[in-house]
Amino acid sequence: MPETAMDRAASATPPGIARRVRGLSDRAIAWLFVAPTIFLLLAINIFPLIWTIRLSFTNFRANRPNADVEWVGLRNYQRILSDPEIWQTMQATAHFLFWTLFFQVLIGFALAWLINAKFRSSNFWTTVIVLPMMLSPAVVGNFWTFLYQPQIGLFNYVVAFVSGADPTSFSMIGDVPLAPWAIVIVDTWMWTPFVMLICLAGLRSIPESIYEAAECDRASKWRQFWTITVPMVLPFLMLAVLFRGIENFKMFDLVVQLTGGGPGSTTELTSINLKREAFEKWRTGYASAYAVILFVTVFGLASIYVKALNKVKER
């Protein structure tokens, strides 16, 4: 009988280990390998989650470990869900989420379409376009605060040049109507390249033969786009939306650097609000309930979305 790879591996196993492993079933060996991962998963993910759920029913404060901890039942959940300010942060998050996804998908797909045309120096432009996403969000937030400065900011000067308005007459991060758009613009600038790359991968995965067949059937470019390109890129696009949606739901650093949640609480997203409750006010029990609500929301929405994504892929 010829020697298999498994036989070779078995013969290469040091005799000490072989002696110890001998007698263990395949299932036991499998468990042996998987156990460390399961242990880490339980310790780092599952246990904190269960602990958070438990804390969410108490008035525990992490900065007063010696204080009595009371079981408060659903009071934290009731307070959160009936607090108009929490709903305001939810609205701010929804606004940010919707418009960043909208612009990033639109512009990202358009850029991918252009880059896919393989014009001269397209590789160079691809590199230039993806540069923003290589920067740290804290750095991006910091330098955009300068770009948005009414007196010295390039952004205001460009807008003033185009519109004829006085550059000091508006403040992107200080004016209530403009601030939500200020954070949308910066996030779109930074993360559109990510969507573009995923779309580009989708576009390049479409076999050329499908387009050739369509050409033979005299399908117009417009029809080819809607009946070949869009359906075949759609799973990729949906994946990009999933990644960006999850990322932007927990957006923190960029917005803190840009606006600090202001003016007032206009750009205070849920993650910023949650951080204030948990690590500035130290209302750990309340913040745990808040985190559980957000977790259930994201988990629920993501599950529905992944199901939809799978259906699209199956088509």
Partner 1 sequence: MKKNALLAGTALAAATAFAGGEARAANLTLCWAAWDPANALVELSKDFEAQSGHSMSFEFVPWPNFADRMLNELNSRGKLCDLMIGDSQWIGLGAEAGHYVKMNDFFDANGIDMGDFIPATVAGYAEWPKGTPNYWALPAYADVVGWTYRRDWFERPELQAEYKEKYGRDLRVPETQAELKDIAEFFQGREIDGTTVYGAAIYTERGSEGITMGVTNALYNYGFLYENPEKPYDMEGFVNSPGAVEGLEFYKALYDCCTPPGSSDWYMSETIDAFKSGQAALQMNFAFIWPGVNADPNVGGDRSGYFPNPAGPAGQFAQLGGQGISVVSYSDNQDAALEYIKWFAQPEVQQRWWDMGGAPALQAVVDAPGFAESQPYAQAFLDSMAIVKDFWAEPTYAELLLAMQNRVHRYVIAGEGTAQEALDALVRDWTEVFEDDGKL
Task: Tell me how far, at minimum, the Cβ of 149 lies from partner 1, in Å.
Answer: 5
Q: What is the dihedral of CA 197, 203, 208, 212, to 10 degrees?
A: -150
Q: Which is nearer to partner 1, 18 or 138 (CB)?
A: 138
Task: Tell me how far, at minimum, the Cβ of 175 lies from partner 1, in Å.
Answer: 8
- Which residues of this chain interact with partner 1, rule CB under 8 A? 59, 62-64, 66, 148-151, 153, 168-169, 171, 173-176, 256, 259-266, 276, 279-283
Quick check: 213 and 227 in contact, CB under 8 A?
no
DSSP 8-state secondary structure symbol assigned to residue 265? T
- Cα separation, 228 vs 230, in Å, equals 6
- Cα separation, 278 vs 56, in Å, equals 12
Task: Tell me how far, at minimum, the Cβ of 281 lies from partner 1, in Å.
Answer: 4
Task: Tell me how far, at minimum, the Cβ of 104 lies from partner 1, in Å.
Answer: 26
Task: Tell me how far, at minimum, the Cβ of 171 lies from partner 1, in Å.
Answer: 5
- Distance linking the first and last C-alpha atoms of the chain: 46
Q: Which is nearer to partner 1, 25 or 151 (CB)?
A: 151
- How many beta carbons lie within 10 A of that of residue 294, not counting itself? 19
Q: Cis omega before residue 263 (within 30°)?
A: yes
Task: Tell me how far, at minimum, the Cβ of 136 lies from partner 1, in Å.
Answer: 16
Q: Which is nearer to partner 1, 101 or 287 (CB)?
A: 287
Task: Tell me how far, at minimum, the Cβ of 132 lies from partner 1, in Å.
Answer: 23
Quick check: 186 and 140 in contact, CB under 8 A?
yes
Quick check: 6 and 29 in contact, CB under 8 A?
no
Helix (H, G, I), strand (E, B) or coil at 6: helix
- Cα separation, 229 vs 161, in Å, equals 38
Q: Which is nearer to partner 1, 59 or 126 (CB)?
A: 59
- Give alpha helix (H) positions in 133-229: 137-147, 154-163, 179-204, 208-216, 221-224
Beta bridge partners of 58: 71
Q: Which is nearer to partner 1, 99 or 148 (CB)?
A: 148
Quick check: 146 and 257 in contact, CB under 8 A?
no
Q: Which is nearer to partner 1, 145 or 192 (CB)?
A: 145
- How many beta carbons lie within 10 A of that of residue 37, not counting itself? 9
Q: Which is nearer to partner 1, 148 or 191 (CB)?
A: 148
Q: Which is nearer to partner 1, 82 or 151 (CB)?
A: 151
Task: Tell me how far, at minimum, the Cβ of 143 lies from partner 1, in Å.
Answer: 15
